[in-house]
Copies of this chain bind each other. A is one copy, B any other.
């Protein structure tokens, strides 16, 4: 994980469709060497996968909210229960007064309400506190 690896990852975050030739040129390497480096970054799990970034509003997920989930039991083994709710994009165990923080995307606020209902149905969940996003300034890749 040296400076060249970081530069490669940064380039791929910007546009994973770049050719290895262009990638190599950007970091001062041949196409073959760039290819080999990227292969190893994938192998080591530094690069998990290549995906497409989607406009949420265009696919019917225009409503974004963060929900603090309070619990009266140990939530450490509840990952699957949260994952079963398709509208939940992220779920994290947190320090502090609440127990779990989830990021939810729905088409409407009615659907958001329904997600809250399903959150309450999870074992141990005793409360929720939803924060609706009015405007997203930006969302960008993991910082390097």
Contacts and interface: CB of A to CB of B under 8 A. Distances in A.
A51 B52 CA distance: 6
Chain A contact surface mostly: mixed
Given A46-B55, A49-B53, A50-B51, A87 B16 contact: no
A45 B55 contact: yes
Interface in A58-98: 58-61, 64, 66, 76, 78-79, 82-83, 86-87, 89-96, 98
Nearest to A42: B52
Contacts of A9: 52, 54, 59
A112 interface: no
A92 B137 contact: yes
B15 A82 contact: no
A87 B51 CA distance: 22
A105 B142 contact: yes
A139 interface: yes
A56 B100 CA distance: 20
21 contacts: A15-B49, A46-B59, A47-B52, A47-B55, A48-B54, A48-B55, A49-B53, A50-B51, A50-B52, A51-B53, A59-B142, A61-B144, A76-B135, A89-B141, A91-B136, A92-B133, A93-B133, A93-B137, A95-B133, A95-B134, A105-B142
